[in-house]
Amino acid sequence: MNLFDPHLFRRQFPLIENHDKSLIEKSGLTSSLIYFDNAATTQKPQQVIDSQQHYYQHLNANVHRASHQLSSKATFAFEKARSLVQGFIRAKSIKEIIWTKGATESINIVAQSLARNTLKPGDEIVLCASEHHANIVPWQIVAEQTGAVIKVLPLTNNGYIDVAEMDNIITDRTKFVTCAHISNVLGRINPIKKIIAKAKSVGAISLIDGAQAVAHLSIDVQSLDCDFYVFSAHKMYGPTGIGVLYGKKVLLECMLPYQGGGEMIKTVSFTQATTFNELPFKFEAGTPNIAGVIAFAECISFLTPFLADETNAYNLFEQKLVNHCYEALAKIEQVKFIVDGTPDVGVIAFTLTGHHNQDIAMSLDIYGIAIRSGHHCAMPLMDHLNIDGCLRVSLAAYNTIAEIDYFITSLKTILLDGSLDKTNEEVSHLSDKKVVTDSTKNEMDEIIALFSNTKGWDSRHREIMLLGKTLPRLDKALRDDNSLISGCESLAWLKSDYSEQGLYTFVADSDAKIIRGLLVIVLAAFNNKTAQQINQFNINDYFSRLGLMQHLSPSRGNGLLAIVDKIKLLAQNSDKNN
């Protein structure tokens, strides 16, 4: 009998279940949700949510530090979770399980507590071309601190680490080898056993980033024989803000603490050297995320049976979803996969010829479909592939074939939608009006009036796309590094001018249609204002009046905040120079 039943599994997730409203029958407008952003974070089953609430209602006390009954109960639950993690990844000792905020902090601990104290100038750190920034930047920092050199393992055309190049990259000079078990963009299960064995053969220390693997694979760190393995709970149906650093005991014992404070000490004195606690507490300074740890235990209890099931029903269903989605996308002419072949897990990355990734992702949001666009915290990989970014569909076992079919239908509809391609003569209500340059207040009022008469995100999104057609294109000569808006997901440029009357005007452009529309809206608010007026203008209030805060809040990663910050910076700098 299979332990995994797709329908029963899906019903455990309240956020998914509450939005499950006959998508096909409803023709797909925004009351529903299809969540295809699982590589960023997974949804949480009810038992995980309940366990966190149960701790605060019934067990709330600090751990390890009191003799009263409540603290004893909290400590027991806290340490039981550590034991469950030990079993989950088959670690040799419970002392090898260190609680962290997540995989990112786990990597930083190894980089700063071990690598920083052992690397010498000329030593080499080997990474992979497809690494997440979390497994690149900490090593860049420690390389700069120590004089070590970073080497990069290349990829095959299918997106795997090219083991044929290992002997050329991993040498006697290599001291650390660190790579992802599964790429968060390519969805490939890397040949980490071979990489770990090669690292061991030259005496190098190995670290494996398992953030994308733990929800899909059964992990045995002793069989892998890696020195360190890191992962986060929130990628495997658990809570955010809690993760694990597994390390071999012999290495952890020789490492200095990463942070100082309570719990990680044995003795503290003003006259003698401070001594540190034993493992694992040496690396757990301060009050830990107790509720998160206890909820993490529930997530492991929830997931482990599916990964351990000999029928492999859980993994087979995930692969069924992957194959169905990949094959359906492959039939769309504009789709171009960023590497060759079907991925090993439900992470599918692609671009669409003739369309900006951000435009497509935000258009899909109208249909209640959540996917990711951008560089996915893997900018070196984007450079390696010679692309600015891509779209990523990442699937989980609570997704369905029907959701994939709806996504494909919606994507085809978007590609046929004239709002992405209409000519300037056919666009928005404002398209027949000359852009106001001497009375920006009127232009802003017109935009407010336009959106006050536009109901629903789908209609507002369409108006933004159409407004983008009214924005004059910036001369290519002006699209340079000086005018580039840093922090915008798409490429966007901004130039300013300053009048004798002390008023600023701005011209801008972007390679994304949605950003061009936002630029029309933003420039209407800031053009022909003084530096003081620009700095005092409340962009949040403005977007609230337009009814755009829910989907286009300046705090979201759509570049809006970066645009506003660039405008204010240009105004400040020009004001100082005049």
380 and 512 co-located in one domain: no
Give 478's DSSP letter: G
* pLDDT, tens digit (0-9, with 9 covering 90-100), for 19-44: 765 444 444 444 478 999 999 999 99
For 46-55, 458-467, 481-490, 502-511, which range has the lowest pLDDT when averaged over its residues? 481-490
Q: Would you name the residues annotated as active-site residues?
A: 377
Total domains in the fold of the chain: 2
* pLDDT, tens digit (0-9, with 9 covering 90-100), for 75-124: 999 999 999 999 999 999 999 999 999 999 999 999 999 999 999 999 99
List phi, psi (to 5°) of 140. Answer: -65, -40
3-state secondary structure of 507: strand
Dihedral sign, Cα of residue 177, residue 183, residue 184, residue 185: positive
CB 241 within 8 A of CB 261: no
Separation of alpha carbons 74 and 561, rounded Å = 42
CB 178 within 8 A of CB 124: no
540 and 438 co-located in one domain: yes
Q: Would residue 222 count as lying in a domain?
A: no
Which amino acid appears at position 157 of this protein? N
Q: Which two tokens stand for residue 26?
A: 């409803």
* pLDDT, tens digit (0-9, with 9 covering 90-100), for 505-538: 999 999 888 889 999 999 999 999 998 999 999 9
For 90-104, 259-273, 434-448, 483-497, which range has the lowest pLDDT when averaged over its residues? 434-448
Helix axis angle for 401-416 and 357-366, nearest 10°, is 120
**Which residue reads 């067990």 in tokens?**
59
389 and 446 co-located in one domain: no
Separation of alpha carbons 297 and 225, rounded Å = 24
429 and 550 co-located in one domain: yes
387 and 501 co-located in one domain: no
430 and 414 co-located in one domain: no
Which amino acid appears at position 283 of this protein? F
373 and 466 co-located in one domain: no
CB 357 within 8 A of CB 374: yes
Q: Would residue 431 count as lying in a domain?
A: yes
Q: Residue 408's domain spans which residues? A: 6-41+310-419
449 and 433 co-located in one domain: yes
Length of the chain in residues, anyone?
A: 578
Alpha helix segments (H runs only) across 226-312:
249-254, 290-308
105-139: burial string, b at 16+ Cβ within 10 Å, e else: bbbbbbbbbbbbebbeeebbbbbbbbbbbbbbbbb
Q: Would residue 378 count as lying in a domain?
A: yes
Separation of alpha carbons 178 and 205, rounded Å = 8
